[in-house]
Structure 1
Amino acid sequence: MTVFILVAGAFTGPHVWRDTAARLTAEGAEVHTVALTGLGRPPADGVGAVDLETHIADVLAAIDAAAEPGGEIVLVGHDYGIHPVLGAADRRARSIARIVHLDTGMPQDGVPALAAVPDQLLREEVVERAAGSGDGVAGGELPPPAREAWSRWGSTAGLSEAALDGLTALAAPQPLGTLLQPLRLTGAVAAVPATGVLCTANGPGVEMLQMMVDVGTPALRALADARVAFFELPTGHWPMLSCPEALAETLIEAASGGGHVLTPAGSGRTPAHLRPFLLDVPERLRERTGNTDLYLPDGPGPHPAVVFVHGGPVPAEARPTPRDWPTLTGYARHVAGQGVAGVTLDHRLHAVTDYGQAAADVADAVERVRADPRVDADRVALWFFSGGGPITAEWLTDPPVWLRCVAANYPILAPLPSWGMTGSRFHPVRALSRAGGLPVVLVRAGRESAEIAATVEEFVAEADRCGANLEIIDVPEGRHGFETLEPADGAREAVHRAVGAVLARLKG
């Protein structure tokens, strides 16, 4: 028999598992929902301040109570709940058949759960409350979110109004010690098979995760392992409330060892971002200066220019660097063949906290390009890709007169819920109303991941509202990064249309 031990996240308790647990039980599994001290149950007499070790002890008690010959224990941790799950599993590794990370991060030894809180302002509030309590880590509580503030902790996509009301009504304060005390692991838990359930309205799906592994993101290397599998659920951060039956089915399949396994980087397969560009573009000489490459057209100039801005985050160790990736070099050579200077560059978007630095890198590169006498400084376009999309906000807000067009391929056009960038200036949807008549060309992938597609839909709706000068070029069968994936029907035509649209605004 499979024995599921379910551990809920911050502010919540066993009640959130009710429907999922019922379905698992109906399928013949044994189910235990852990009531964490201070959340699902009051502290016992004599217990001091509640911290992470308190919650690890709660999970250990559940494991020991459920441990029977022949029963395979599957620990499921949602959100904050993965921290006590890992702490307990590390001490009972031989008793655990599998750990399921339900829309969680990857906790590491010595790192407190606070580091996984997406919103920087929330992290600062926790630290301030701990300092104000006078007991530091030992005491104090973080009040549960108000009804309208749950989205600061994760996407509420898929939650009914009733579910959101219930989540709010039954929420409990989170003991600060549970967020501030570092997780301590011996390493024993690394031997336990793991499954990740990715809620794609809140963060990346499997395909995006594979891309991140391919570019060499250090923190994700361990995920490309035969003992680690993944599932997707098209919902927000609380699937036990938004789709309990689908979650139960996923957990049953996970317990049996199912799921998608990622391919390790350097396994002999060419990663998607390094495959050939979908157009057969002739080679062209480039000039490399600092972090910028210039592909010049024939003739004396001065020529209009298109600056191509890569996405990310891309780890600093990635080789080749983005300005040498086939998509960027392909577009740059293509426009150079049509009389326009193509520019690629490397910027320092190595983490979602680096958008300020990356935006400054882009601005510096643009000014160097405009200062080149072979470039027409009054006719420049900026073309952004994927995670570079938030940087467009810098240019949509009071655009300079020399900026003739902004283009974006499969872009992220608002901070994703898991980024914790509440109030960030890198929010193109909010900036669009200040763009005036600046032409914007949007290349939209029909098979885009859910969390990115939501930002694009929001951007298009805002363009309709404020009357922005937006042209949309759809690639119905295209995926994120379609230029180097299997070319879908119409993808080449879409690239030609997009290039034509941008160059028309430069040359017109």
Structure 2
Amino acid sequence: MATHRFVVPVVPTDRERHGVLDVYRPAPETGTGAGTEAAVRSAKPAVVFVHGGPLPANASPTPRDSPLFGGYCSLAAASGAVGVMFDHRFHSLEQRADAADDVAEAVGAARRLPGVDPDRVALWFFSGAGLLAAEWLDAPPPWLRCIAATYPVLAPGPDRELEARFRPIEALSATSGLPVLLTRVGRERPEFATGVEAFVAAAEEHDVALDIIDVPEGRHGFDMLDHSDASRGAVTEAMAWVIGKLAPGRTSAPEGR
């Protein structure tokens, strides 16, 4: 995996390693007091970042060590949320189920972290991980406040047929009010752009709460390749959108899903 700088200048946040997770926490608040009630009040929402793929198993650095995701997690922490990063096993399309299981395990572990509000979680998918968003769109739990997708791959290609667990376009019919953010690049690869167009059309058909941030001159990977005001603006706008959905008192999917 090539090492590219994150387009947004951020002060790096020290990370904690908790098993498979890298955890980036906001700066401690002063005057929160002590005890169980204070701890509950000060619990922070979590943004779990899901890197793309397929990536070689021997990629160096791995996504959790890349400047890109260190930047995203540091930006989340600076915005008041706990940034969570991990590596998953999406090394080939045939390992998609392993990767999906890794995502579920990581999200569960993130919700159990000390200082994290388990009822305020966002999932943010990138590139090929867009396929892994399908099951979360299909049956969003009540603690999942939103899904963000940045230059996502949303269809496997004309010569591939995947099970429903990996078909996010079809999953939109069951999303039930979950807010979804798409960051769409104007210079997307043609084979990916077709899936994005179909996703937007399906969202409109099913009345999905889809917001779109367009980066007209952006490439796939603009957040590390295109160092421009437009790129920085798109990333900061996307982060602000996610943090807004994680505000206390907001809900997404109906109870029971």
**TM-score normalised by the chain length of structure 1:** 0.46
Instruction: Report the equivalent of 2:4.
Output: 275
Distance 1:353 1:421 in 2: 12
**SS at 2:56 equivalent:** coil
Distance 1:325 1:378 in 2: 28
Q: How do 1:406-421 and structure 2 match up within 5 A?
A: 406-418=147-159, 420-421=160-161
Instruction: Report the equivalent of 1:486.
Output: 226
Indicate which of 355, 364, 369 corresponds to 2:110: 369
CA offsets, 1:215-240, max 9 Å, x none? 3xxxxxxxxxxxxxxxxxxxxxxxxx
Indicate which of 181, 184, 198 corresponds to 1:458: 198
- Residue 501 of structure 1 and its aligned partner are, at CA, apart by 0.6
Distance 1:447 1:486 in 2: 11
CA offsets, 1:462-501, max 9 Å, x none? 0000000000000010000001113245111111111111
Structure 2 counterpart of 1:392, one-letter code: A
The 8 Å contact of residues 5 and 224 in structure 2, kept in 1 or not, is answered as yes
Distance 2:178 2:237 in 1: 18
- Residue 414 of structure 1 and its aligned partner are, at CA, apart by 1.6
- Residue 382 of structure 1 and its aligned partner are, at CA, apart by 0.1
The 8 Å contact of residues 478 and 488 in structure 1, kept in 2 or not, is answered as no
Indicate which of 448, 453, 456 corresponds to 2:188: 448
Computing the radius of gyration from Cα coordinates, the structure with the larger value is: 1
The 8 Å contact of residues 416 and 451 in structure 1, kept in 2 or not, is answered as yes
Indicate which of 10, 13, 17 corresponds to 1:288: 17
Q: Which runs of 5+ in 1 are unaligned?
A: 1-214, 216-270
Instruction: Report the equivalent of 2:31.
Output: none
Distance 1:488 1:448, change over 3 A: farther
- Residue 366 of structure 1 and its aligned partner are, at CA, apart by 0.6
CA offsets, 1:225-268, max 9 Å, x none? xxxxxxxxxxxxxxxxxxxxxxxxxxxxxxxxxxxxxxxxxxxx
Distance 1:422 1:355, change over 3 A: closer
- Deviant stretches of 4+, over 4 Å: none
Q: How do 1:112-123 and structure 2 match up within 5 A?
A: none
Q: How do 1:18-417 and structure 2 match up within 5 A?
A: 215=1, 271=2, 274-299=3-28, 301-417=42-158
Instruction: Report the equivalent of 1:146.
Output: none
- Residue 327 of structure 1 and its aligned partner are, at CA, apart by 1.8
Distance 1:284 1:430 in 2: 38
Distance 1:446 1:489 in 2: 15
- Residue 415 of structure 1 and its aligned partner are, at CA, apart by 1.5
Distance 1:371 1:423, change over 3 A: closer
The 8 Å contact of residues 120 and 246 in structure 2, kept in 1 or not, is answered as yes
Instruction: Report the equivalent of 1:471.
Output: 211
- Residue 417 of structure 1 and its aligned partner are, at CA, apart by 2.4
Q: Which runs of 5+ in 2 are unaligned?
A: 29-38, 251-257
Distance 1:342 1:416 in 2: 32
**SS at 1:399 equivalent:** coil
- How big is the alpha-carbon RMSD for the aligned residues of Structure 1 and Structure 2? 1.2
CA offsets, 1:16-70, max 9 Å, x none? xxxxxxxxxxxxxxxxxxxxxxxxxxxxxxxxxxxxxxxxxxxxxxxxxxxxxxx
**TM-score normalised by the chain length of structure 2:** 0.89
Distance 2:189 2:161 in 1: 20
Distance 2:13 2:65 in 1: 13
Matched residue count: 236
Distance 1:486 1:309 in 2: 21
**SS at 1:474 equivalent:** strand
- Residue 422 of structure 1 and its aligned partner are, at CA, apart by 4.1
- Residue 290 of structure 1 and its aligned partner are, at CA, apart by 2.4
